[in-house]
Amino acid sequence: MRIKKGFTLREVCGENVIMGEGLGAINFGKMLALNETAAWLWKQAQQQGDFTVESLAEKLSENYDVMPDEALHDVEDILAEWDSVSVIEK
């Protein structure tokens, strides 16, 4: 998976939001607010370029006090949300 081009994470009024830029802004037409953990995962996904549920779950488990199974479930939920608003590509 990859983050689609044209989407970026920004801080707006103290909130982490995914915003579309260029053509992404035209097609997206909204902002998606992320909590601190989801914003951290977005940054990890950007750094990895091509990422998997497992690679993000491993990072989450390593950096937060989260058991691997719980991390995997949490990442699956977040990626499903991102997929539903079309900010990632498989």
Secondary structure of 1-31 in HEC code, one letter for each residue: CEECCCEEEEEECCEEEEEECCHHHHHHCCE
pTM exceeds 0.75: yes
- Please give the average pLDDT of every successive group of 10 residues along the chain, which has 90 residues: 92 89 60 92 97 98 95 97 91
